[in-house]
Structure 1
Amino acid sequence: MANSHLDIQQTNIRRIKMLTYLMFFMFAMTSDAVGVIIPELISTFNLSMAQASAFHYMPMIFIALSGLFLGYLADKLGRKVTILIGLSCFALACFLFAIGDEFYYFLMLLALVGAAIGVFKTGALALIGDISKNTSEHASTMNTVEGFFGVGAMMGPAIVSYFLVNGLSWKYLYLGAGVFCVLLCLVALLSRYPDIKQANDEPVTLKGTMKMMRNPYALGYSLAIGLYVATEVAIYVWMPSLFIDYKGEFALVATYSLAIFFTLRAAGRFMGGWVLRRFRWQQVMFSFSLAICACYLGAMSLDIEAAVFLLPLSGLFMSMMYPTLNSKGISCFPVKQHGSVAGVILFFTALSAAIGPLLMGLISDLFGDVRYGFYLATFFALLLCLLSLFNLIKDPSAHLLDEGENEVH
């Protein structure tokens, strides 16, 4: 009887993990396709680069606000209810794309999409802590989650490109995501989630999340993740625009540069667990951030042909940065606070994803070339490398992570 109960529990955990993986897959499929959609928007609505970048930063701003102000719901209402609310709102927003054709209408829907993502993503991030036995398993699971995110990031642009080549609207991507989201809602509804023990004298409120905003460890990891995200989104938002007029010897590589980037990023994330088991995570973060910085510096200091290869190559080194930093940041706190800290980290993640491309668009418009925006992204990559070096030398959160190594809960 005991073995039967254990088998049922393990099967349920596997189902919950797969649900979590597929949620991130769906999120990436829509969010990372924006680089392919932006040139179409510029052409259709006669937009500047800064205006068109709103298609990216609008959902990111609302992901940030949702993570900050609604992230505590994962701790208060429970992971299941929070995830169902987020997925339902996401599906509704996706289906509403079918009935409008105005740029500002799309932006309104993207705001709802962002708010929904902020809700179900904080629930999913907190859930990973619930089903992880220790911080090492947490980091490994996060890398697998981001591996599925990477696959979705490859499929989204490919699907949109297929639609556009065949004369179909990019909006079909959102309609398909809406249908997929409804199926995920059904799976979430039928799944049994682990119970979370809450201290009676510590009610979960928005005030607790605001208090978390002053925690130096939450802010430190948020800063590192923010710098990483600003460096990464520069690739999938603006790299297609950087190479759009390139007709040189490596034009074919430039055409598929975004697909190459996402492929390398996804492959690296599935290998993340293997690498982290063999090397200290601090060493991995510094080595990979140094390689990212080198790719950017080479791409900007050499000619366009070098950028065609070096910018996509950076995806291989970006692969483990976000999931590992996210995992370590969340693991610094007890499980009952995972929803709140995930919301804080998500706030800075999405805020960086919104502001970074916007600043790049403004600088590109000012100087008349998207390459100038990439100079800013190179600066972000350099700051990330320096922060990783500080973490390697000082390791300020070591005592918190050591406490959680034996038991996350």
Structure 2
Amino acid sequence: MFNPSMKNKFLLPFILVTSLFFMWGLANNLTGILIPHLRKALELSNTQSTLVDTAAYLAYFIAAIPAGLLLKKVGYKNGILIGLLVFSLGCFLFVPAANTRDFGLFLGGAFIIGIGLATLETAANPYATKLGPEETATTRLNFAQSFNGLAATAAPFLGTIFILSGKDYSQETLGEAERLAYLQMEANSVKGPYITIGITLLVLAILFSLVKFPNVEDKQQNGGSFTGAWRSPLLRWAVLAQFFYVGAQVCVTSFFIRMAMEGGGMTEKEAGSYLGIYGLLFMIGRFAGTALTRIIPAAKLLAIYAAISFALCLITIQLEGNLVVFALGALGFFLSIMFPTIFALGIQGLGENTKPGSSLLVMSIIGGAIFPVIMGYLIDNAGDHIQVGYYIPLSCFIIIFLFAHKNLKKA
């Protein structure tokens, strides 16, 4: 990924930028724990619980273009610093939200976190492609995104240990005072993990402010426009594919624990552990994808993975018991390369329009705000039948396959 002559110049900045992929991976993948947990702690419906996704990914949509404009003005490094500070603020807001069991405050914290993540992703994704030779940009981005995969493994295990209690009492089981104490205990369990993340982000912000970063800007890269970027047919396709991909991924993880408990007969703790296995396969898939994109064209690999994901989702809908959980877990491997591959293919050849193009791709993450709510509504209206909801991510994989096929035709 680096020539020897470039190594000293790019290595430390690349390591620091890669750490960002891990941190926003923690935040994104904790929602798979947070949604069923808040559903229990705050007594929410399926549709209401998915509003956590809506708040976070709506923030991506709102902040993406301003983040791109911000990058054009302040550069990658300062944009990253701003993103880190906003991200940490959202994490700390979960403390008063838990203390008061106020769902609105939880949504506010998730929204602020989403703004921070949008700023970081708009900066870090293209920056990672520029910290080394252009011909290995896709491989380098997949490598950095592999640490997002590492977070996909760590977050469910940490959330299972520190957030999930494994207890689920009905109103008939407990008296009113005991029930309120139990619900408050469940809400309080989110504070420790989010305080820890917030402090870590502040430490990272200090490191970024102290380390000297190479100047990868040039006159061309400081120009560009959203209109110019949107003229690229492949970017338009990439925006659509990313919209459906993020929607599919968030649907799978947001309802994974409920599916494992109801479809596989598992306890809450066991279901959380299986979500961690999903994350482990996601991480393995990211590292494997880094190697595979060196020997298989990225668009071809994306098409293969989209077709397999469609088949696994169909198994999830049609079968019952542990096979459903195994199919969901396997999805982690095949979803792993989709985001970075779509991103890298989408900004290819944009030149001076790379930054605004990156903003548009980050903006498309709003799919994660829309599809889970549709899925939750479908499940609520199907008598809480979780499997019916998986028709939503299944349909998304068709669009991703078409995007990959479009790139293959171009190649």
User: Fold-level match, TM-score > 0.5?
Assistant: yes
1:264, 1:313 within 8 Å by CA — same for their partners in 2? Answer: yes
1:272 aligns with 2:289: yes
Count of residues in Structure 1 that have an aligned counterpart in Structure 2: 382
Aligned amino acid, residue 151 of structure 1? L
Q: Where do residues 12-91 of structure 1 align in structure 2 (5 Å cutoff)?
A: 12-91=9-88
For 1:47 and 1:251, locate their aligned partners in 2 and report how far apart those are by CA, in whole Å. 17
Aligned partner of 2:367 in structure 1 is 352
Percent of pairs with identical residues: 24
Of 299, 308, 316 in structure 1, the residue corresponding to residue 325 of structure 2 is: 308
For 1:111 and 1:308, locate their aligned partners in 2 and report how far apart those are by CA, in whole Å. 30
TM-score, normalising length from structure 1? 0.87
Aligned amino acid, residue 358 of structure 1? V
1:197 aligns with 2:212: no
Q: CA deviation at 1:130?
A: 2.5
2:303, 2:405 within 8 Å by CA — same for their partners in 1? Answer: yes
Aligned partner of 1:259 in structure 2 is 276
Q: Where do residues 319-330 of structure 1 align in structure 2 (5 Å cutoff)?
A: 319-330=336-347
CA deviation map 1:83-126 (0-9, x unaligned): 11111111222223223331101211221111111112211123
Q: CA deviation at 1:165?
A: 5.0
For 2:46 and 2:358, locate their aligned partners in 1 and report how far apart those are by CA, in whole Å. 31
Aligned partner of 1:405 in structure 2 is none
Q: Where do residues 119-158 of structure 1 align in structure 2 (5 Å cutoff)?
A: 119-135=119-135, 137-158=136-157
For 1:261 and 1:27, locate their aligned partners in 2 and report how far apart those are by CA, in whole Å. 18
2:264, 2:324 within 8 Å by CA — same for their partners in 1? Answer: no
The SS at the match of 1:77 is helix
TM-score, normalising length from structure 2? 0.86
Aligned partner of 2:239 in structure 1 is 222
Change (3 A) 1:250 1:307: farther
For 2:51 and 2:118, locate their aligned partners in 1 and report how far apart those are by CA, in whole Å. 18
Change (3 A) 1:110 1:292: same
Aligned partner of 1:290 in structure 2 is 307
The SS at the match of 2:163 is helix
1:250, 1:308 within 8 Å by CA — same for their partners in 2? Answer: no
Change (3 A) 1:337 1:382: closer
Unaligned runs of 5+ in 1: 1-5, 399-409
Aligned partner of 1:342 in structure 2 is 358
Task: Name whichever of 159-168 and 281-290 sits farther off.
Answer: 159-168
Q: CA deviation at 1:237?
A: 0.8
Task: Name whichever of 278-287 and 80-89 sits farther off.
Answer: 278-287
For 2:291 and 2:196, locate their aligned partners in 1 and report how far apart those are by CA, in whole Å. 34
Aligned amino acid, residue 146 of structure 2? G
For 1:125 and 1:251, locate their aligned partners in 2 and report how far apart those are by CA, in whole Å. 35
1:241, 1:370 within 8 Å by CA — same for their partners in 2? Answer: yes
